[in-house]
Amino acid sequence: MGSQEALPGYRKFAQQKKEALRSTPTKQKTLAKQAACSEATVSNIFTAKTAPTEAFARAYARAIGSAPDSEWEEWRSAWENRFQQEGPAVTAAEDQSRGKRFRNPKFLIPSALGTVLLAVAVVLTMSPGKHPSSSCTLTSCRGKEPNDYCKVGVQTVGEQDRPSPGPITVQVRWNSKCEAAWAKAWGDYVKSGDKVTVSVEGGASESMKVKYGHDQHTAMVPRTETQRVRACWERGHDQVCTSWTPA
């Protein structure tokens, strides 16, 4: 985050999450162990100093009894928008004044022009390397990056955890709109050189070699809801795989 601090809205969000955890038997030390991170990292996440990880969000979801996918999306979205300033409260008098202004014809043209300029600005500032969510389907998704094409509406349809000799979680991720799946592996045990693979029974497969970090995923493969799929993590003869799903 550098010298820039998150605005009060995000700090309030993180504090409320911390308070929710206090109402459960789970302590921060236990949460840190389940999220495969240090207790200091958990403390920094709750004080808006450190970005939340997916492992943290999922461990937190298990602690408070919420849906892991929804919890991670909520934390991720809040963090990405942490520098957005909340608008000031509008009094009744100000609201009435605004209504009079926008009913006055002399304010209508500038207002409409501003809307048009804003729309043009959005189009011009869109990064050419990014793609709208769900912009591919089945075979057109093959080999594509899920975060660029199928970020919205993601589900975890298969998962396998292994706590030792080091924590690792392997998941099958799937997007019903895209009809595409991919493998995800995360945890402190994941390291450079490991292999992550997603396989559709009787269909396509995609693999990737981990280059850095402890949270990696493959490109997508086409997969309908009824096709069986599984995800695997490998290091030499060591392997962790999900079950084929649906069973």
Task: Please write the tens of the pLDDT for every residue from 110-132.
Answer: 545 555 455 544 444 444 444 44
Of the candidates 130, 187, 182, the one whose C-alpha atom is nearest the C-alpha of residue 154 is: 182
Distance CA 161, CA 187 (A): 10
Q: Where are the domains of the chain?
A: 8-80, 92-125, 138-241
Model confidence at 19: pLDDT above 80:
yes
Beta bridge partners of residue 181, listed in sequence order: 174, 221
Most confident of 36-45, 55-64, 114-123, 231-240: 231-240
Sole residue written with tokens 């389907």: 137
Please state, rounded to an integer, the average pLDDT across all residues of the chain: 80
Q: With H, G, I as helix, E, B as strand and everything else as coil, classify residue 93.
A: helix
Per-residue DSSP letter, 245:
B
Of the candidates 75, 50, 79, the one whose C-alpha atom is nearest the C-alpha of residue 60 is: 75
Q: Are strands 168-175 and 215-217 parallel, antiparallel or unpaired?
A: unpaired
| CA angle 177–179–180, rounded 5-degree value | 120
Q: With H, G, I as helix, E, B as strand and everything else as coil, classify residue 113.
A: helix
Residues 196, 218 contacting (CB under 8 angstroms) = yes
Q: What is the pLDDT of residues 156-192, one digit of tens each?
A: 999 999 988 989 999 999 999 999 999 999 888 999 9
User: pLDDT-derived band of residue 212, with 50, 70 and 90 as boundaries?
Assistant: confident
Phi and psi torsions of 68, nearest 5°: -55, -45
Domain 8-80, CATH 2.60.120 — does that match?
no
Per-residue pLDDT at 235 = 95
DSSP line for 179-228: TEEEEEEESTT--TT-EEEEEETTS-EEEEE--SSSEEE---EE--TTS-
Model confidence at 90: pLDDT above 80:
no
Span 77-94, average pLDDT: 61
How many beta carbons lie within 10 A of that of residue 16, not counting itself? 9
Per-residue pLDDT at 107 = 46
Span 73-80, average pLDDT: 85
Task: Answer yes or no: pTM beyond 0.75.
Answer: no
Model confidence at 218: pLDDT above 80:
yes
Per-residue pLDDT at 6 = 64
* Range with lowest mean pLDDT among 22-26, 196-200, 216-220: 22-26
